[in-house]
Structure formats: structure tokens, C-alpha cells
Amino acid sequence: MHNAHSVGTRWLGVGLAAVLAVVTLGLALTGRLALYINPESSWFAVGMAVLVLVGAALSFALPLGAEAEHGHDHGIEAVDDVHHDTHPAALAATVVGGVAASGVVLLTLVLPPASLSAELAMSRDVGAPPLFAGSDAVTLAATGDTASFGVGEWAAVFATATNPDAFEGDAVTLTGFVTPREGASEGFDLTRLVITHCVIDAQPASLAIAASAPALDSPLDTGQWVTITGTVNSTADGRLEIDATSVEPIDEPEDPYEY
């Protein structure tokens, strides 16, 4: 009984942490950590994961049950307070919670890493223009240095540019996935999820691709990844969109997010 309890304590604490540390390091070793967190903070995640694993290995040297042990005579009662004096409902909650937490962590271990779906990106599109880096992108764009711009930066520029003509004719090559364009029968939106820190703060950035996009053999499905080449064009009503000269369907890239 005590042994089972001690093993439970180890698994739910050190065990869960160790599995997550292994997953973190596994992703880092295969270069896929960017599927979950901003690569800029990889060093921290990797360093602390190593530390967790060192601690986990050392913890095997601590005899089972020693963490609940006590130096004084009243020790046993105190321990029993922890173990048995709990309400049955509390015990049930602990067991259910423990099983749920173990399930999530084990799924994390055995399932292949995945990226967020296009459906999720669309459900997160609230119509507000994304302004990830403040107004830096717009300032930078005005100087004409847009070579490194991704969908996120261009979306900020498209949404906030006060002088759209300044960008007219800029050549772009961008990669993203296709989402339907609201209120338009032709053309589509090129969308990419942009992440600041980790996937939970992912926000969609979309660019309007003009209706005159070159005809494809088959219409593009929502969620299909494409690389487009074209130029920025301002429409009659003063908005910016992209005139695509080529739209090439591709497989999902290894780095599906922009940071």
C-alpha cells in the first residue's frame, strides 16, 4: 500500500516532468521544437529539461517513501495524515486527476507532433489586424526593405499603411495556407499563424490574394499550403492586395509558423 502510494507520488511528479523533458529534448534534437515554442527560448527549455532529467535520475537514489519520511517520533501519524485522513471524494479526485494527467502526458509522448489546423486559424480570425511587433514592421516597410517580410509583417503593413501607394509594385514571394476570403466569390486569403512565444498565443495573419490569380487545374482546398509569387497592388478603394503571378501548391513546410 505504502509502496504503491510512493510509486504513484514518483510517477505523478518526477515521472510526468521527466516524460515532458524527454519530449522537449526529442523535439529539440530533431529540430522540431519550433512546432510548439519560439526558437528564441529553446535554450531555456532545453537547459531546464536536462536539469529535470538529471534530477529525475538522481531521485532514483532516494528510497521509495523517503520523501514522506519524518525525523521525529510523531512522524508516522503525520505521514498517515497525508495518506489516509483524506475524504473519499478527495481521494477519488486525486486518482481521476492523476489518470487524466498521465493520459495527456503519455499521448504527448507517443503521438507525432502536429501543427494547428486551418480550421483553428479561421476560428481565431476575429477581423482585428495583427500587430505583432508594434509598428516596427510598418516603419521598416516604408524604407523599402521588405525582403525578409513574411505573411505576418505584410498583414500588419496591409492593415495599417497610411500611404498604400508606397507599396504598390513591391515583389513578394510568400508561403502560407489557403483560407476562403470573406465576402468574395473569387480570390482567396493567404494565411499563416504567427507566434510570439508558444503555440497557444498563435494568431492568424491573412493577406488578400486578388481574384485574378492564375487559374489552377483544380480549385484550392481550404488549408492547402501554397507558395505564391506576385506583386503588391492597391485596389480602387484604397486597400492593398497581392496580384499573384504564380500559385504553387506545396506540402506543409517544416516550420509552419512565423515567429
Partner 1 sequence: MKTAPPTAPANSASVSTTRTPRPAVRRAEPRPRAAGALVAVGVGVLVIAALFVIDAVAPNLFPASLPTRAEDGLTLAISVLIESLPFVALGVVLSIVVQVWVPPGVIERWMPRRAWARRAVLSLLGMVVPVCECGNVPFARGLLMRGFTVPETLTFLIAAPIVNPIVIITTHQAFGFSDGILIARLIGGYAIANLIGWLYSRHPDPDGLLTDRFRAMCALVTDEPGGRARRSLAQFVIELRAVMPALVIGSALAGAVQVLIPREALLAIGSNPALSIVAMIALAMVVSICSNVDSFFALSFASTFTSGSIVAFLLVGPLVDIKMLALMRTTFTTRTLAGLVVVVVLSAFAIGTVVNLLA
Binding to partner 1 in span 126-185, by CB under 8 A: 126-132, 134
Sole binder of partner 1 in the list 31, 60, 168, 173 (CB under 8 A): 60
Residues with Cβ < 8 Å from 96, sequence gap 6 or more? none
Segment near partner 1 (CB under 8 A), from 25-33, 166-174, 177-185, 240-248?
A: 25-33
Q: Do the Cβ atoms of 108 and 170 come closer than 8 Å?
A: no
| Burial tier of 227 (Cβ tally within 10 Å: 0-12, 13-18, 19+) | middle
Handedness of CA 133, 136, 142, 147 (dihedral sign): negative
Sole binder of partner 1 in the list 44, 144, 186, 214 (CB under 8 A): 44
Report the residue number, 98 or 249, with the smaller CB distance to partner 1. 98
Size of the site for partner 1 (CB under 8 A): 94
**Least distance to partner 1, CB of residue 231, Å:** 27
Other Cβ atoms within 10 Å of 116 Cβ, number: 17
Say which amino acid occupies 85.
D
100 binds partner 1, rule: CB under 8 A: yes
**Least distance to partner 1, CB of residue 18, Å:** 6
253 binds partner 1, rule: CB under 8 A: no
Residues 65 to 84 in contact with partner 1, rule: CB under 8 A: 65-72, 75-76, 78-79, 81-82
Report the residue number, 41 or 245, with the smaller CB distance to partner 1. 41
Segment near partner 1 (CB under 8 A), from 58-66, 138-146, 180-188, 234-242?
A: 58-66
55 binds partner 1, rule: CB under 8 A: yes
Residues 191 to 230 in contact with partner 1, rule: CB under 8 A: 196-201, 203
Say how many residues make up the chain: 259
